[in-house]
Structure 1
Amino acid sequence: MAVADAPRDGWTSRRAFLLAAIGSAVGLGNLWRFSTEAGTNGGSAFVLFYIFCVILIGLPVLLAETLIGRHGQSSAPESVRKLAAESNASKHWGLIATLGVIGSLLILSFYCVVGGWVLYYIWVFLGDMIQTGLAGGAFQGRPAADIEGLLPNLFGDARLMVGCGLAFLAITAFFVARGVSSGIEWVASWLMPAFFVLLVLITIYGLATGAASEAISFLFTFDFSKLTPEVMLAAVGQAFFSLSLGMASMITYGAYVGRDVNLAQTSGIIGGADTMVALIGGLCIFPIVFAAGLSVSAGPGLMFQSLPVAFQAMPFGSLIGFAFFIMVAFAALTSSVSLLEPSTAWLKQLTGLNRLATTLILCGVAGVLGTLAALSFNELADFRPLAFIPIFAESNFFDALDGVTAKIMMPLGAILVCIFVGWIADARLIDEENGLDGALHQFWRFLVRFLCPIVLGVIMVTGLMS
């Protein structure tokens, strides 16, 4: 039996909700994952189909999740159970949100490991800036191999890896423990505007000093011959993961929204802002990479290895590198906060403990899992926790967490949300919340009932087969 909450903390304004939701969506996925996916999937063809998928897949599911939360005004599982009960459906539908809550905590545990890499690079660039000054390029006099070796060197230092990841988790916990309006909203209200300012300034600098025309051509000169099934699947996956869907974050954030907010309009703004950041992020990264003559298909090493090498040849390279990773840290923190909040709200309601206690308990769990994930790069490199499952047989602890959540829990959760909203929940209750009218409402219902679950099912099956 859930324990009743005290008067609920919530967003103080529509602007606060928008910034928090955009902060949840805008994270490492927009900068690190988008640039990696665009670089390895032909650039423009991937970008065009990605935008298409955000509109037809991402936004409908985003609206479905936020309206569940706003209707329930509670933790994600309880919000689903409330809507199910009012629709004369089984209370067990609440398990779809419980799946998302667990998934978000698992994602947080290894997300903070990557957040720790960002903190490490901030420290490295700060030290270089102090040592060599502002005017010249970064890491003056050091060979490119040394700069590319920063990340492998970090991986080889178990204590540093664990320490950086736990430091990022502690920062996340600090803001979540302060509550919705005083903590999560504060982070979004200050860090997201700062993030956008840094993103625009660094992009302008990169376009001015880098290979702007080459980057623009790579991203926006659409070559439909490159639109292969593999590229389309990658674009659909990026659109889905970028918007933080299937992990109960948007259901939880929706629970703090007032009745005066039009959820359809705000979902459009959130999706538009998230896509804009991804595209600007591409314009920020690729001119610098092209100007340095580096490969755009460097994969995950593009941000943490190729870019630091590129900063070496740029005026004010240390300063730009420092500002770039500060910007990435802001985006990562707003997302990590949204990953911790669903389980915090759920455990707080379930146990009646205060927010500080629940935050500390959950961070203890995430800290243990995150430590094991960090050690996957060194001390536990040969540990295969899911060796008994063929598709995860070769995955270390970090990769196993990533694989289980990305390939199973997130798409399955989103598919079940679509089925619940499209087929199970009372249509009158859904219509009261979604903010759509006429043909647009009917089109949204078609997408949620048919197109979205089918496409998400394809993503899930393909991911499990790869």
Structure 2
Amino acid sequence: MALTQSGPARDGWSSRTAFILAAIGSAVGLGNLVRFPAEAGANGGGAFVLFYIFCVILIGLPVLLSETLIGRHGQAAAPESFRKMAEQSRRSTAWEHVASLGVFSAFVVLSFYCVLGGWVLYYIGTFLGDLFTTGITGGAFAGSSVEEVEGIFPAMIANGGMTVTLDLVFLAITIFFVARGVSGGIEKVAVYLMPAFFLLLVGITIYGMFGGAMGQTLDYLFTFEPDKLTGPVMLAAVGQAFFSLSLGVAGMITYGSYVGRNVNLGVTSGIIATADTTVALLAGLCIFPIVFAAGLAPNGGLGLMFQTLPHAFQEIPGGSLLGLAFFIMVGFAALTSSVALMEVPTAWVIDRFRFTRPIAAGMVTFFAAIIGILSALSTGSLAWFHPLGFLPMFEGMGVLDTLDTFTGKITLPVGALLTSIFVGWIANKRLVDSENGLGGGLHLFWRFLVCWLCPIALIAILLVGIFPSILGQ
């Protein structure tokens, strides 16, 4: 794309379906496939799940629509879209810094998210190699002990050369699509990978229905016990609903800026939130039947995916093939999310400096690679380095965990909080109403949520994230 006097011509989605698939791909990621099942199991099962669904509707969806309408109105990178809406509302243009915080957050998350994406690539290669060794019908890692299978992960992350290489490979895959543009690259990822992701997810879930412990899983995830709906459980559900939709990183503002005026943002936001929630629920129904069928206890966090599940695949027929399919599915989800994360700062560089897309994406990749290398080494040779360890909140954390905590507990909630305040209280109401695609009572209900409930919930997430002692955590 050649430079012109006014900058590169702005690209856009070829259809409403392309936008929906891309936005779903942005939201669906490792958080849906790892964090939700672990959070649901650890926080009251059915009580958590039910409250989580309410939180998606009452908190996540209003902020999602708010971000998207800002982008569609501005038709520019996130800060410029914020600036345009503020100017037309006769408000201070300093509100653009809210979106600048989102761009910064997206860049930081990208820098360590690709490290995790690299880990997924490693397991794809591991299961592919094992499939050739054990065949389609055998269990995974034949002849290996439990300790050897579960030891694959710590050995991999301790190998600095390996983790850095994997990180750079995943970054290279990401920039390949982002540099090709919205319709020519990012859209292609969404249109082809998201349907493939859903097919794999549904297929593995169906396998769990017949070959796994589905009854035990249903009891684990959906048994409703009202007494378990405590304050900490409710706050965990609020946080999961917020983070599962990838809010606060200006991603939906950026993707919304490529949407045509003929798209009803209220309806499409509802579809995106519904699809994201469905994936989270299916993730639990996909993972836990396999884990329980192998007689294993579900571990939380990354250990569930990278240690417990590989051991579970060892115990079941066709484990190598099923494990390969599972990690390919996870790889698809990770790639669609990393593409969305890279697009946010890339779009900002294009609009701010008038660079061509390949150059802008290359700049973002270069600096993300530097931070990513530090993150990759923080689980091995740089494990001793705790950049913010002098603060109680980050005590004992390496680079990767520090960046994850800093964005997840500070910058993302702050960005979403200020966005809801801007749309609910600052921006011109007529201007907002012309973009949101809602009418009648639904519009009034959305305005109540974005003005009152969303700010209160996001303040709670922010305070408890910084001061966990509030809930005795």
Short-chain TM bin: over 0.9
Aligned equivalent of 2:232, options 225, 230, 233: 230
Aligned equivalent of 2:137, options 135, 146, 151: 135
Matched residue of 2:36: which SS?
helix
Deviations 1:217-264 (A, max 9, x none): 222221112212121111111100010100000000000000010000
Partner of 2:101: 99
Partner of 1:383: 385
Distance between the aligned counterparts of 1:308 and 1:423, measured in 2? 49
Higher alpha-carbon deviation: 225-234 or 83-92: 225-234
How far did residue 24 of structure 1 move? 0.4
Percent identity over paired residues: 61
Partner of 2:175: 173
Is the CA contact 1:39–1:297 (under 8 Å) kept in the aligned structure 2?
no
Distance between the aligned counterparts of 2:301 and 2:25, measured in 1? 24
Partner of 1:423: 425
Partner of 2:8: 6
RMSD of Structure 2 on Structure 1 (CA): 1.0
Question: What is the one-letter code of the residue matched to 1:216?
Answer: L
How far did residue 44 of structure 1 move? 1.7
Partner of 2:128: 126
The 5 A counterparts of 1:26-425 are 26-425=28-427
Question: What is the one-letter code of the residue matched to 1:267?
Answer: S
Question: What is the one-letter code of the residue matched to 1:234?
Answer: A
Deviations 1:280-301 (A, max 9, x none): 1110001111111111244431
Distance between the aligned counterparts of 1:58 and 1:386, measured in 2? 30
Is the CA contact 2:41–2:221 (under 8 Å) kept in the aligned structure 1?
no
Distance between the aligned counterparts of 1:82 and 1:460, measured in 2? 28
Distance between the aligned counterparts of 2:96 and 2:396, measured in 1? 33
Distance between the aligned counterparts of 2:51 and 2:184, measured in 1? 39
Is the CA contact 2:106–2:249 (under 8 Å) kept in the aligned structure 1?
yes
Distance between the aligned counterparts of 1:198 and 1:318, measured in 2? 15
Is the CA contact 2:421–2:450 (under 8 Å) kept in the aligned structure 1?
yes
Across the two proteins, how many residue pairs are aligned to each other?
Answer: 464
Is the CA contact 2:106–2:345 (under 8 Å) kept in the aligned structure 1?
yes
Deviations 1:134-159 (A, max 9, x none): 11111112111111111101011110
Question: What is the one-letter code of the residue matched to 1:272?
Answer: T
Distance between the aligned counterparts of 1:218 and 1:5, measured in 2? 54
Is the CA contact 2:8–2:354 (under 8 Å) kept in the aligned structure 1?
no
Aligned equivalent of 1:458, options 456, 460, 469: 460
Distance between the aligned counterparts of 2:127 and 2:307, measured in 1? 13
Partner of 2:439: 437
How far did residue 72 of structure 1 move? 0.2
Question: What is the one-letter code of the residue matched to 1:113?
Answer: V
Distance between the aligned counterparts of 2:318 and 2:377, measured in 1? 35
How far did residue 390 of structure 1 move? 2.8
Partner of 1:21: 23
Question: What is the one-letter code of the residue matched to 2:76?
Answer: S
Higher alpha-carbon deviation: 381-390 or 8-17: 381-390
The two structures have a TM-score, normalised by structure 1, of 0.98
Distance between the aligned counterparts of 2:382 and 2:47, measured in 1? 39
Is the CA contact 1:39–1:299 (under 8 Å) kept in the aligned structure 2?
no
Distance between the aligned counterparts of 1:156 and 1:400, measured in 2? 18
Distance between the aligned counterparts of 1:198 and 1:61, measured in 2? 30
Deviations 1:55-79 (A, max 9, x none): 0000000000000000000000000
How far did residue 47 of structure 1 move? 1.0
Which aligned runs of 4 or more in structure 1 are off by greater than 6 angstroms? none
Is the CA contact 1:4–1:349 (under 8 Å) kept in the aligned structure 2?
no
Question: What is the one-letter code of the residue matched to 1:440?
Answer: L
Is the CA contact 2:69–2:435 (under 8 Å) kept in the aligned structure 1?
yes
Matched residue of 1:241: which SS?
helix
Matched residue of 1:295: which SS?
coil
How far did residue 387 of structure 1 move? 2.7
Question: What is the one-letter code of the residue matched to 2:7?
Answer: D
Ranges in structure 1 where 5+ consecutive residues have no aligned partner: none
Is the CA contact 1:40–1:297 (under 8 Å) kept in the aligned structure 2?
no
Distance between the aligned counterparts of 2:281 and 2:406, measured in 1? 28
Distance between the aligned counterparts of 1:37 and 1:369, measured in 2? 28
Matched residue of 2:438: which SS?
coil
